[in-house]
A and B are shown apart, each in its own frame.
Chain A
Amino acid sequence: MAVPKLVIENLQAEVEGTPILKGVDLEVKGGEVHAIMGPNGAGKSTLAFTLAGHPRYQVTGGRVTLNGEDVLAMSPDERARAGLFLAFQYPSEVPGVTVANFLRTALNELRGEEIPARDFLKLLHEKMDILQMDRAFANRYLNEGFSGGEKKRNEMLQLAVLQPKIAILDETDSGLDIDAVRVVAESVNRLRGPELGVIVITHYSRILRYLVPDYVHIMFGGRIVRSGGRELADKLEESGYNWLRRELGLEEVEEEVAPDVR
């Protein structure tokens, strides 16, 4: 299988008439983990939703290709079938639809054929075991009454079962205690390989201790303003964002102290 390659060029997008992304450039290949960091309002989640094709996010310029195919011309489901996956920060509840039923339906759509029930259950249980999930979880209604941690694990379960080419993790670490962050990070580590490229969107560098990125990008005002290796994440952890604001000639702000509360 060819190594997947996602290319984002000068991507611009707006939400309800307000420009948020002002020219994002990024290239992610299979085997790579890219962290995108940045303060609130930098446009990180907008980038995630725009890539996934949420109708509220209007692309106003730029190009996105996955293995040469024009992603922006595709509907959200076509993007998924092309190999894009977004792990939601706040996944929707779907009453009456079990996790297992949903995943099987999704897998059938992605593969274009029915997966036999036995094979599916085997796959599902294998992945659930890795994520240390109780098997009874598969019979619960999708995200309904899930705790924050259960929702995130459920997103990781979908990632593991659906096996996309490019996975975008939108603040998957937020709201999780450190043990849960580790489980999530390790589950992604197991999937790392030339067939999967990963974009980790995060506000804090905590998850990056376990899910070590190859590249770190800092977003500010709708653009990627710095790119580097993991040392960039370390620097953010030590010094916050104000050094960057100074370098960019922006006004310094009082930084949030409480980590990760939303």
Chain B
Amino acid sequence: MSVDTLPRAPKLADLEESALADLSRQWGEPEWLTEARIAAWRRFLELPVPDRHMEVWNRINLRPLPLMEFSAWVPAEPFRSEEELPEAVRRALGEAGAAHSLVQVDGTPAFRRGGEELARRGVIFCDLQTAVREHPDKVRGALGEVVPVDRDKFTALSTALWTGGFFLHVPRGVTVELPLQTVRWRSAAADATISRTLVVLEEGAACTLIESQAGEGGRIGLDCNVVEIILGDGAQLKYVGLQDWDEDMWSFAHRQGRLAGRDSRLTWAFGEFGGRTARSSFLTEHIGRGAESKSVTVFFSSGVQHHDLYQTNLHTGIQTSANMDVRGALAGRGRCVFRGDIEIQRGAKKTSSFEAAHALVLERGARADAIPSLYIDENDVQASHSATTGQVDESQLFYLMSRGLSKNTATKLIVRGFFEPIMEQVPLESVRREFERLIERKLS
């Protein structure tokens, strides 16, 4: 039984613990999962909505968020054919050139394409509910292992009430050349979408996962999403998160990568373009000797958008390295708070960890804050951070205009030029093009 056959859920304020337990059983979930949901639900109710007194939330205003008024899911119909897909979803599928694509609408599996060949090689790629039913041994012991239930109220919510989300498992030594892709689409009927994704790459496995989120908008919505990633020895994952929600969305995403294996490598690329208020955090745990990560984040905040980016590179293993790069533009009354933490624990010798953040403010009403922090408890390390916030320079603008470029064209050229250095770091050509397209849309 899946979500689409269920009636609309009650508001969070009216959801009873017993109802949640019943639902979990109706979904055919094993007892351990039902218990985990119930425990998380209790934590969710206990935990406060983050506010200004909590340091890592202190520049985001959640007072207008009607959290308990949302229903946890609404029934959604699958798409019968590719032609029925919303244009944005079709374009996402077309752009990625993926080996296997999964689409969810409002948290319900709605479309899939490809994947037969991968299944023969032992790759499991499906929605998480299916994985729980069909591969319980692979899910149990991994789900919830990386992200603590009560990291904050939203991770507790995701653990308790997820319906959407995916499972990817790549067995030892298998390299998937073409990207794997997920698209989460939010219909105009949606209320809240709560998702959970688990990615496990065994020793020596390698693949690319592109996850995009977009929606129709028209009414206020909530998206709560947690992604857990576990990499074995020598495993390599490129993960792309493309957030293009409509501007009615409250979005809370937390992704956490555990680089447990020796010489494992994680490359993150994030595009943060959508949402009304979008909190997007990641934590990369560099545990295995020689583990390495790199992250590239491109954002563009416009209108009255607030993007709250919180990125942490935690180093506990020996000889691990990380590079964090963030670059974004702000227009209108857009606001972005970037918090970048580097934490190097005692014993994490020969760590190198760097972060750089650059923002370009296009209009007076927009504002960018960068808050880099270093916590270093080991001597034998290299670490640094840099942050700049600039404006479009009047003399640059005049120079370009004096060659016949309109103010608008000149501004676009300057903004494109500003993004150029980070675009060169984006791991896939198709993703770079998509980032560029979204930047152009913001500029037009």
Contacts and interface: CB of A to CB of B under 8 A. Distances in A.
The judgment on whether A and B are partners is yes
Q: Quick one: which of A75, A76, A91 has the most chain B CB within 10 A?
A: A76
B417 A96 contact: yes
B404 interface: yes
A232 B149 CA distance: 85
A235 interface: no
B404 A106 contact: yes
Contacts of A105: 405, 409, 413
Nearest to B408: A77
Contact of A53 (B395, B396, B402): B402
Contacts of B405: 77, 80, 105-106, 109
Contact of A94 (B394, B399, B401, B409): B399
Contact of A77 (B393, B407, B413): B407
B417 A80 contact: no
B380 to A, nearest CB: 35
Nearest to A102: B413
A55 B404 contact: no
A120 interface: no
A75 B421 CA distance: 31
A141 interface: yes
Contacts of B417: 94-97, 141-142
Nearest to B406: A77
Nearest to A84: B402
Q: Quick one: which of B401, B402, B421 has the most chain A CB within 10 A?
A: B402
Contacts of A85: 402-403
A54 B417 CA distance: 23
B128 to A, nearest CB: 40
A109 B404 contact: yes
Interface residues of B, number: 24
B398 interface: yes
A94 B407 contact: no
A94 B403 contact: no
B404 A81 contact: yes
Contacts of A76: 398, 401-402
A249 B418 CA distance: 53
A169 to B, nearest CB: 13
B252 interface: no
B435 to A, nearest CB: 14
B416 interface: yes
B418 A158 contact: no
A102 B396 CA distance: 12
B414 interface: yes
B419 interface: yes
B399 A96 contact: no
B420 interface: yes
B404 A94 contact: no
A79 interface: yes
Contacts of A106: 400, 403-405
Nearest to A53: B402
How big is chain A's contact interface, by range? Answer: 20 to 34
A173 B407 CA distance: 29
A92 interface: yes
A133 interface: no
B419 A109 contact: no
A204 interface: no
A217 to B, nearest CB: 23
Nearest to A95: B417
B61 to A, nearest CB: 33
A162 interface: yes
Contacts of A176: none
A73 to B, nearest CB: 15
B20 to A, nearest CB: 51
A162 to B, nearest CB: 7
Contact of B396 (A55, A75, A77, A92): A92
B172 to A, nearest CB: 42
Contacts of B420: 95-97
Contacts of A102: 400, 403, 413
B401 A80 contact: yes
A22 B44 CA distance: 74
B401 A92 contact: no
B416 A77 contact: no
B394 A55 contact: yes
A199 B407 CA distance: 26
B394 A96 contact: no
A77 B406 CA distance: 6
A92 B186 CA distance: 45
Interface string A42-67: 00000000001111000000000000
A210 B229 CA distance: 69
B119 to A, nearest CB: 43
Contacts of A53: 402
B404 A92 contact: no
Interface in B363-411: 393-396, 398-407, 409-410
A96 B418 contact: yes
A212 interface: no
A110 interface: yes
A79 B402 contact: yes
A110 B399 contact: no
B395 A109 contact: no
A156 to B, nearest CB: 13
B416 to A, nearest CB: 7
A95 B401 contact: no
Contact of B404 (A77, A95, A141): A77
Q: Quick one: which of B402, B404, B420 has the most chain A CB within 10 A?
A: B404
Nearest to A97: B417
A88 interface: yes
Interface of A: 52-55, 75-77, 79-81, 85-86, 88, 91-97, 101-102, 105-106, 109-110, 141-142, 158, 162
Given A96-B416, A97-B420, 19 more contacts: A53-B402, A77-B404, A77-B405, A80-B402, A80-B403, A85-B402, A85-B403, A88-B399, A91-B399, A94-B399, A94-B417, A95-B421, A96-B419, A97-B417, A102-B413, A109-B406, A109-B409, A158-B403, A162-B404
Interface of B: 393-396, 398-407, 409-410, 413-414, 416-421
The 6 A-B pairs at the shortest CB distance, nearest first, are namely: A96-B417, A96-B420, A80-B404, A97-B417, A76-B401, A106-B403
